[in-house]
Structures are given as C-alpha cells and as structure tokens.
Amino acid sequence: MLPKLQFVILSGCSGGGKSSLLDELARRSYRVVEEPGRRIVQEEMERGGSALPWVDVAAFLRRAIDVSLADLEAARQSQGWVFFDRGLIDAASALQHVTGEPVLEELGGKHRYYPQVFLTPPWPEIYGTDAERRHSFEEALAEYDRLLKTYPIVGYEVILLPKIGIRERADFVLGDRDGTTCASEFTDLVASTLRDLGYSVGLNHPFKGAEIVTRHGDPALGRHSLQIEINRGLYMDEARIEKSVGFAGLQADMERLIAAVAAYARARITARTVRPGSVLPDCAPDRTAGSA
C-alpha cells in the first residue's frame, strides 16, 4: 500500500504530554485520530469485555492492530494532515514483544506513515494513572525504550519533542531582549493583536532576539526593534518545502498586523505633533528586525 505522507504519528512515553499536544492540534482544526488503546479500554469496560491490557494483553493488542488499520483506511478520505495518537506500529511492536509473533516487519512495511515520527520523552513530573491507564511509570518507560528502537528498524526517523508546555509551543515568539530593545507598549500591541487573531504568542523564550535587535534597538533614543519568529508549520509544508494551505490565511493576518502597527505609529506621530513637549515612546519600529 502506498504511503500517505500526510499521516503523522505522535507516540512516546505514556503521560508525556502527548494528549495535550493533540488536543491543541484539534483546536486548530487539524484532524486527530484518538489513541486506539483508549477507545478499546473504554469499549471493553462498558460491555464487561476481557480485551484489556491488565486482563488479556494479547487480545487487547490484536484489537489495537485492527482498530489502527481501520483508522488508516478511514483517514485516506482526508485531504490535509492527519495526526495519529499512537497507531499501528505501537500495537504491532507490543504484540511482537509480548507473544513473539513476527508481525512488525510485515505490517510496518505495508502500511506507512509520514517518515518522521514524533515521540514525547519520559516526563515523571507530570505522569499519572487513571482508570484506563493503570500501568506504572516503569512499565511506561520500558515501552518508550522499545519504541525508540522499533521505529528506526521499520524505517522511520525519530524526533524527540521537548518537555515544554503547550503555551511554550507558540505560533509566534516575540523577542525584545527582555524589554531592552523595544518599548513594552509596542511589544504588547503586537502580542495582543496576534492573540486576537487566534495565535499563541511567546515572549523572549526560546528566542530573545539576537544581533539585529541588539544593534538597532535603543528605546531611549526612539529606536524600537522587535524580533518576530514565526512557526513555519503555519505556512509551509516542510516535507516539500512549499507553501501549505495555511499560507494565504497567515498572509492576510500579517496584513492585519501591519495595519495595526501603522495605526499605532500614526497615532503616536499625531500625539507628538499636537503636544510637542510630551514624552511618548517613538513610533517607528525597526523594520529590519522582523524574522521568519
């Protein structure tokens, strides 16, 4: 079966923040496929079944393979990116580990996903169990170690996700060197405008701004320099290095941001003209500092 390059797997260590990431992707209108294991556990508990990982793990994993295959088939009707919470490789790897059945190579070779797989690393500080996830952190860690080896074996590149919260995985990061290269009023304007447009915005982390904003920004002299880092996933298909379906929407929003900045500048120029002696922040941000 031909690979579907827009099928992306998020896997890794249980309790590592994967579900929060997928919830955020769903909020942004991407299609997300729920973890097969969770659905199976819920169904089995509702009907009093035994295909549960703590009752009959082999039956549970065979069900997980069947559900994963059905998920792949259903997702082929989608036109855009589809993000899978675990999936076929996780289930096949686990079944082979538990029973010795050589299923991984055949299933992993026949049914392909995007060539890079994103794994959440162990995060003991936020790990927790519930009625549907009863295994210990040690068991979760052993599963994670197995997946780290499994995915490369079946031809995937593993990308480890950083242990940071959703708020830090921003659409935009504004850098003003902790307020030293730009008036806070202007930084706040840009941040609030972007948030009103529906984007998440970070400030000075992980990008504070580098040589350009440091060299050109001097608020005391009326020079305000702000670095703007844009998440490439908003506008680029990074696998093909071409514009994505989100490009036009982002372009329109950047025009709205520029209009807001221009209005801010005009208002400050007018105020300085009306009150020549007033002390207001100058309004001409350094255009050289923008960065994508």
Tens-binned pLDDT, residue by residue, of the chain (292 aa) = 444 568 999 999 888 888 888 887 887 678 899 999 999 999 999 999 999 999 999 999 999 999 999 999 999 888 788 999 999 999 999 999 999 999 999 999 999 999 999 999 888 777 777 777 778 888 889 999 999 999 999 999 998 888 777 656 678 989 999 999 999 999 999 999 999 998 888 888 767 887 888 888 888 888 889 999 998 878 887 657 788 878 999 999 999 999 999 999 888 888 876 655 554 455 555 544 444 3
Supply the pLDDT for residue 204: 86
Which residues, in sequence order, are CB contacts of 45 under 8 Å at separation 6+?
52, 131, 132
Supply the pLDDT for residue 54: 93
Query: From start to end of the chain, where are the E strands?
Result: 7-12, 31-33, 82-85, 116-120, 157-160, 172-175, 201-203, 227-230, 236-237, 242-243
For domain 7-160, give its CATH number from 3.40.50.300, 2.60.40.420, 3.20.19.10, 3.90.79.10.
3.40.50.300
Instruction: Please give the torsion angle defined by the CA atoms of residues 51, 146, 67 and 72, in that order, rounded to the nearest 10 degrees.
Output: 180
Tell me how far apart the alpha carbons of residues 7 and 190 are, in angstroms, rounded to a whole number.
34
Q: Where in the chain is the domain with CATH 3.40.630.40?
A: 170-289
Q: Where in the chain is the domain with CATH 3.40.50.300?
A: 7-160
Contact 272, 280 (CB under 8 A): yes
Instruction: Please give the torsion angle defined by the CA atoms of residues 196, 198, 204 and 206, in that order, rounded to the nearest 10 degrees.
Output: 180
Task: Using a cut of 0.75, tell me whether the model's pTM lies above it.
Answer: no
- CA distance to 53, 133, 189, 201, 267, per residue, from 42 (Å): 12, 11, 46, 36, 58
The token duo for 52 is 């549960």
Query: From start to end of 109-251, where are the E strands?
Result: 116-120, 157-160, 172-175, 201-203, 227-230, 236-237, 242-243
Contact 87, 21 (CB under 8 A): no
Supply the pLDDT for residue 128: 78
Specify whether domain 170-289 bears CATH 2.40.50.140.
no
Supply the pLDDT for residue 282: 52
Chain centre distance of CA 33: 15
Supply the pLDDT for residue 284: 52
Number of neighbours of residue 149 by Cβ within 10 angstroms: 10
φ/ψ of residue 53, rounded to 5:
-60, -25
Question: Please, which contacts does 35-41 make with residues 24 or more away whose CB atoms are closer than 8 Å?
Answer: 35/85, 35/86, 36/63, 36/64, 36/67, 36/68, 36/71, 36/86, 36/87, 36/91, 37/64, 37/86, 37/91, 38/85, 38/132, 39/67, 40/64, 40/67, 41/132
